[in-house]
Every structure is written in structure tokens, then in C-alpha cells.
Chain A
Amino acid sequence: MSDPTRRTRRGPIPALTRRGFLKTGVCTLSAAALGPGILLRSVAGAQGAPPRNLLLVELDGGNDGLNTVVPWAVDGGAYYTEYRPTLSVPESSVLKVPGTPVGFHPSLAELKAHYDAGRLAVVQGVSYPNPNFSHDYAMRIWHTGLPASPGQEGWLARYLNLHPTPAFPAALEVFDRRTLLTGETDGFLPAADSFDDVAFPSDGFHPGDAENRKNAYAAIAAGAESLPDPLGSIAATSSGLLGLIDVFSAIAPVPYVGTYPAGRLGRSLRLVVRLLVANVGLRVFHLGYGGFDTHDDQDAGGFHAGLLATLSQGLNALHADLVANGLADDTLVVVFSEFGRTVYQNGSHGSDHGSVNPVLVFGNGVNGGFATAHPSLDPGALAPDGEPAMIADFRDVFGTVLLRWLEETPSNLASIFPGHAVNDLGFLP
């Protein structure tokens, strides 16, 4: 990184082909219109099969998994309330799952109903060897799939890079932590919170000049794409941005049937639904949902409970709209967080950075149920760091998704998660 003029791209830069887009229309935009990089790649699927969509929802800050999937009767119920005298979810309000020693937090009523209908799989005790307790570092491990030495390249970027079918960008980033979708190359990375975000600005005093300004912006971007980085990559992103603006401006509103919670998560989920319905080629979405770093007063005013309720209501609304639009069978949602929280509550009525955590896999296509058992909370069974022992490696969770949902080959999996032999956890057929 010592020479910023160094070119970092592989291969030639595709030219901006907005003209091609205008001729062919939104859904058939097929040229490599949006600049270089990983996101030119489409998601693989079996020939002729409907394309499958993947939505990764990241609970930013470290979700308290022990108060999400509640181990109220694990080890005979001996430890959970002992570790968490005031923080534990009272047994009477746990949404219990018969035949298991766990249940869902009462704020997850909608997700519990989906669980009962066989649409929710839960992988418990997910982590990786030698867990890291720093937000930034742990998140990079989850994003890159390389616990020993995370670097900057996302495992999802590696997957997308293996499927270089020219198409509209396959992935949209709806989170400001971008490593998951960032390749080694600094390519065009679409990012947006809402449709309002994606329109070219104009001077209200001279609307007649707006098209001239947009054309000049396009010409400047196209002309500078061949310059050395960082200019070249900024120009390529500018070109991609214009393509995205054109596409977004042509996407019709969706009459939502789901009731979305107010705030960022609800807004992001509506954006995803509208883009999926428009079928522009975006198939992979990474959403961030923050506020989970609950070091103190975790449940004052139902704070953590409120976060979970928003998640549950949001995913429920998403599912309703996917069903209404015939997309529910082809869309999978994975909910994860960079780490769980300490089994013990701390002195501030909160919990500190822990390790193992449940991952939720949601959609019509899952084998519903618990894919793995909850780790023991017996003090003698805890890992040396004082946290419950790992049951499943997060690379097995994402590896199973790639293998079963996106039909990735085992040999490609080996290069997506180098140094790790993926174990199919069985939560997808």
C-alpha cells in the first residue's frame, strides 16, 4: 500500500454503457455497465432454475445471543439465571420450544411463529477458534472468513468473484462496514439506504440544464476511468453510480403488504423488497442493524428487547411481501452478529463482549429446527476464556449456505474459506 498510484485492478476496465441500458431496458441490462470489481458478477444458480436471493442481516455491536435464544433449561436450568440474576429472561415469558431446553425471547413472537411453521433454522453455539473480543476485529473475521489473519477481502466477495457472468451488480451493500462485499480490488460497490438516496441532483433554478450537467458528469467519469488509482477507481465508481441512478429511477414502487417497523432496518428491508420485485439482478444484500453493544442498562426501558422486536417484526414484514410477490421460496435470510455476550451479566446491568452466538436462518427453503445443540453452561464446560464452548464454526454456517442454497461446488468452497474444510450443518435441503 505504499504506492497509491499503483493500479489495483485486474484486467481492462469495461466502458460505461448507459446507451446500452437505455436501449435494452432495466431487466435486461446485461452489459458490464457498472465499472470493474466483484459486483459485476452475478450469482450462480442451476441452469434454468429461478435465481436465488440471499439477505445477510448483521446485528452490529454483538447481540446478546443468550437473551435471544434463551437457554432457560440447559444443564437442567442450573446456571442461566445464576449467571444473570437480573438480566435473564424469566422462564415464564420464554417462548419455549417443546423438546428442547431453549426458547425464544418474548420479543421474537413473529419469528417463533415462523419457527413453528418450519421456516426458521437455528444454529447454536457459533464461533471460531480463539475468538476475538474486539468489535472491529471480530467483524472482519466474520466478513473475511479468515479467523487467523482476516485481511480485507470478504468471503462473499471471493464467492462473487468466482462467478464472473457479466450482469447488473449482483450485490448491494446496505451497511457502512463493507468488508464482506469488498474484494481485493476496489471495485464499484453499490450502497444505498433508500430509493430517495439514488437520484442525480439538479439546480432547482435551471431544471433545463440538468441533463447537460448529468451528461458532463458522465463524460468526466468515463474519461477519467483509465487514469491511475485512486482517480481511476473513483471515476469508475462515478460511472457505476450513474448506471445505478438510471436503474433506480425506472423501478416502480411496490404496494407493501408487510408492516415494517420504523427506522433504518424497516427502511432497508423495504428497499430490498422493491429491488427484488423489480428483478434488476441484485440478488445478495448485506444489511447492518446497529445498537447491540449493550454494556450497560441492557434492558432499561426494554432496550435489547426493542431491538429484537424490531428484527422480528421487520423479518415478518419482509416475509409477507416475499410471499405476496412469489419470492418467498427463492429468498434466504441469515441473521448473525460479530460475537455474543458474556454469560455473566456485568456490574452495569449489561453484558460484555462474549464469543458463541446463535445464527438464525430464515426462509421457506430451510430445514426448520435446531441444527445444533446449545453449548453447556456448566462452569466446568466453559472454554478457557470463560465463555461457552463453540459448537459450530461460522464458516460451516456460511459454507452450508453457499453449498446448498447457492449450489457452490466443494472445490470452490475450499478457495472461499481457505484452510477450512466446510462441514454441511444440514439446515438446508
Chain B
Amino acid sequence: MTVDWNAENAAHLIRRTGFGARSEEVARALDLGMDATVVSLLDARGPSDRLRVIPGKTRLEELQLWWLRRMLRTRAPLEEKLTLFWHNHFATALDKVENARLMHLQNRTLRAHASSPFRDMVRAIARDPAMIVWLDNQTSVASDPNENFARELMEVFTTGVYDAQGSPNYTEFDVAEAARAFTGWTIHDGEFSFEPWNHDFSTKTFRGVTGPLDGDDVIENLVLDPATPRRLAARLFSFFAYEVALSDPVLDPMVGAYEGNGTAIRPMLELLFRMDAFYSAAAKFSRVKSPVEFLAGTVRLLRGSVKGGRVGEGFAGKLAALGQSLFNPPSVFGWKEGLSWVSSNGLLQRARVAEWMADSRRWGRPPFSWRPERLLGKRSEWPTLDPASVVARFVAHLDPSPPAESTTGALVAYLQAEDDGTPAPFVLEKGTIDRKVRGLVSLLLSSPEYQLC
């Protein structure tokens, strides 16, 4: 490995494994070195879970706020980032599950297994009450199997429909046989329950294997199929580094790490975060921030504070407007990442949220507030800061893709524009901070450069 451990690479790792790279976090990673940073990111565990879920009362907004706060406060950002990855991989929505306690439980399961062997993850998720309701397995009985879970287990969770060469990984017959293997896997009083009287114990033939197969046999077959680690590697690589095709040889070492370590995910990640490709020009600032990354990252980079009680409404509404309602993905396929986040509508919503955040003052107990003064450094230096230095200071804090000259030029011109548009000298003081510096931040947050990480 030839990765030069410099500030640029350290910042890239922090950005991709967390929610916004703050200067002190980058400095710490630089100090530790690459290997120790990767290990500490993977070892770190967040605080124990203090959400009290009251059945029938806890609303989507409260769940969302609970998770968002974890992202903001945790010392284990990668744990949250991986949980977000798995939430998109095993996408399940409260809309259908209609039980906040089960959704919360699933989030804990995803977090607990975030870098476990994949076999354990899939076995846990096949017994996860929210998943069972989401994919109708509680209605799947020997006399009338429901194929929904069996199909998505293959299509979405493990092998995918086609392998890297474009050949189908399974047939409709396999779907029907797998569905029979999961009959009787249901829930009772909100817990997983196996009901032998509803299970089909007879012989099945699944992907060429014949026997009295049950759900775990099907899972074992799928997690050991070479298509599964390749697809997982592609999804992990595309999420953390840049978008790749299944057949890309850059994935080979990650596939090998999974296969050589009993379906382990952690060695795949250890490799990924040390790869040349991960630190390549193709990776840096190539990822469109998802709405969650945009929101949580901005709160952290502005060093703002979120208030109790009323916060839920504010951030939940923003998540929905930006198109990523946590705990409520649009379908079992999760959210489509990448440029589809930044359609004209997506960019409009981002501009609105940018304005909302930049202009959140402390008056009236808003859900979120921040103080521009805190990011401007010593007050005694203010008179010496010209518009270009003010722009540079916020660029450093907000960590966008390196801005185009035209972008910094437009921001400097903005600082120097009177209400009627005529140029005027810019002086940093209380009034201009409230009018212009907040405007500058709003513009930076809605710039093309800030949408990338």
C-alpha cells in the first residue's frame, strides 16, 4: 500500500466514515496514522441506547430525531454510517410495519451486526420482527407460502438477480422453494416465533440442493454463493468510495476477504479503507451527499446546537423534503443514491434547508441554531478580514469540494453587494454578520461544491 497519509487523505477518510470532517478530527487522524485510525473507527462503539419507545405513541419523527442525534453526538461515527448503509440495504419502512418499537429494534439489530459476519446479519434479519411484517412472512404458511421475503432475500439482500457476467443467480422455482423453507417463520407478541405447525418440512430443491431445507439452510446457501460477496463489495465500495460495476476487479480483494474469513464484513472494510482506489482522485468529492449526510454534516460543521422537545418537527420535515425519511424508505430497494438526490427538485429543497439552517438564530428556541461569531475567530482580527478571507474561513469550516474560482468570486461579490445590488465595501461587524455572513453560509451550503463529499 502506498497511500501517503496527509491531511487531504485523512480528511477524505473522516468525511466518508462519518458526518462532516471537522479540522480537529482530521488532525487526530493525521496523528494516529492510517492503520490506527481505521482500526479505531471500526472498534469504536456509540453510547448505549436510551430511547424509550412507547408502543402506539412513539412517532416516526421521534425515531428519526433519536437516530439523527446519535449521528451528531457519537464518538463512533462509522457505526452510524454502517447502520445507515444497512438500513438502505435491508430497507424497511414504518409506513407498512406500523410499529415504532419494531423499527427501533431493527435499527439496533443492524447496528449490532454492522461489521459482523454477514451470515449472522442475515440470520438476524430473517428473524427480525419488523422485516417479517414488512415482507409479509407472518402470513407465509405451508399450505400457502408467501414469496415476498424469499424473493427479496435473493434479489436485494444477498446474490442479486444477476451475477457479474449477467447470468441469473436463481430461478422463479428457487423463489418458490425458498418461500416454502421460510414458512412458519413468524412473530408472536412482537417477537420472532417459529411455528412448526405452519412450517413445510417436506423436501425442497433450492438452487440444485435437495433436502428438507429450512430458512437457515437457504441463508447458508446464499451467503456462501460467490455472487453475494461480490454484490456486497460493490455496494460497500460504491457507498464509501465511488460507484463501481459488479465486475470491477478493484473489488476482488474485498471478495477474497469475505470468502477467506467466514462471510466477515469487517476485513472487507479494513481493506477498503486502506485501498489506493479509496484515496484516488476518482473517489475524492465524487459522492453526492445523501440528505442525512447533508443535514447531520451541516449541523456538525456549523458547530450548531439542536434543542430538545420541538426539534423533531424541524429535522423530520427537512428529511422528508430532501427525500430521505429515515425509517421510511420508499421501497425494499431503499433510496437511490448519487445524482438522483440532486434533481432540480432535490437542489431546490437543499437550497431551502440551507437557508433555514444558515438563518437559524437563537431567538424563539428554534430547532437548530448556530453562531457565526464562533466560526469567525478572534474578534480582534475581524477588522483585518477582507471579504476573500471571510469566504476562505467558511470554506475551511464547511469542507466542500474545492470551490471553483467563479464560486469564490461570486461569494466575494455577494458580500460586497448592497440591497439594490450596487457594490459597497464589506466590513465584518455585528450587522453584516447577521445579514451577509449568514447569506454567505446559505449560498455555500446550496452550492454545487457543498453537495459532494
Contact = CB atoms under 8 A, between A and B. Distances in A.
A5 B348 contact: no
Nearest to B144: A347
Interface residues of B, number: 72
Interface stretch (B222-230, B380-388, B408-416): B408-416
A186 B344 contact: no
Nearest to A191: B345
A209 B172 contact: no
Interface string A347-361: 110001000000000
A230 to B, nearest CB: 6
Interface stretch (B106-114, B121-129, B268-276, B443-451): B443-451
B139 A347 contact: yes
Given A178-B340, A219-B413, A223-B407, A206 B435 contact: yes
A234 B345 contact: no
Contacts of A231: 401, 404, 448-449, 452
B282 A205 contact: no
Interface residues of A, number: 63
Given A209-B436, A223-B404, A224-B407, A190 B344 contact: yes
Contacts of B410: 216, 219-220, 223
A136 B344 contact: no
A203 B359 contact: yes
Nearest to B161: A137
B434 A205 contact: yes
B175 to A, nearest CB: 8
A135 interface: yes
A321 B244 CA distance: 48
Interface in A168-225: 173, 176, 178, 186, 188-193, 197-198, 200-206, 208-209, 211-213, 215-217, 219-224
B243 interface: yes
A346 interface: yes
B413 A216 contact: yes
A230 B288 contact: yes
A224 B448 contact: yes
Contacts of B435: 205-206, 209
Contacts, number: 181
Contacts of A352: 146-148
Interface string A247-286: 0000000000000000000000000000000000000000
A57 interface: no
A149 B421 CA distance: 53
Contacts of B301: none
B166 to A, nearest CB: 8
B169 interface: no
Contacts of A224: 404, 406-407, 447-449
B119 interface: no
B351 interface: yes
Nearest to B146: A346
B192 interface: no
Interface in B398-438: 401, 404-407, 409-411, 413-414, 417, 419, 421, 434-436, 438
A188 B344 contact: yes
Nearest to A221: B448
B136 A220 contact: no
A192 B347 CA distance: 11
Contacts of A233: 339
Given A2-B242, A137-B161, A231-B449, A212 B330 contact: no
A195 to B, nearest CB: 12
Contacts of B356: 201
Contacts of B333: 135-136
Contacts of B245: 1-2
B342 interface: yes
A235 B413 CA distance: 19
Contact of A295 (B136, B281, B340, B344): B136
A103 B71 CA distance: 54
Contacts of A30: none
Given A176-B323, A230-B288, A296-B136, A202 B355 contact: yes
A173 B343 CA distance: 10
B248 interface: yes
Contacts of B344: 188-192, 237, 240-241, 244
A11 interface: no
Contacts of A209: 419, 435-436, 439
Contact of A235 (B354, B442, B448): B448
Nearest to A208: B419
B282 A2 contact: yes
Contacts of B139: 296, 346-348
Contact of B439 (A176, A193, A206): A206
Nearest to A1: B243
Contacts of B443: 213, 216-217, 220
B217 interface: no
Interface in B238-273: 242-245, 248, 250
B2 interface: no
A29 B81 CA distance: 45
A28 interface: no
Contacts of B406: 219-220, 222-224
Contacts of A149: 166
B421 A212 contact: yes
B343 A347 contact: no
B244 A213 contact: no
A380 interface: no
Nearest to A245: B348
A113 interface: no
A370 interface: no
A379 interface: no
A269 B404 CA distance: 40
A301 interface: no
A288 to B, nearest CB: 10
A212 B443 CA distance: 10
B331 A212 contact: no
Nearest to B348: A241
A3 B347 CA distance: 23
A385 interface: yes
Nearest to B345: A191
Interface string B263-304: 000000000000000000110001010000000000000000
Smallest CB-CB A-B distances: 6 pairs: A223-B406, A208-B419, A347-B144, A219-B410, A4-B286, A191-B345
Given A201-B354, A231-B448, 8 more contacts: A149-B166, A203-B355, A203-B359, A205-B434, A217-B446, A220-B406, A220-B407, A241-B347
20 contacts: A133-B151, A135-B333, A176-B330, A201-B354, A205-B361, A212-B417, A213-B442, A220-B407, A223-B409, A224-B404, A224-B406, A224-B407, A224-B448, A227-B448, A234-B451, A234-B452, A237-B342, A237-B343, A348-B146, A352-B148
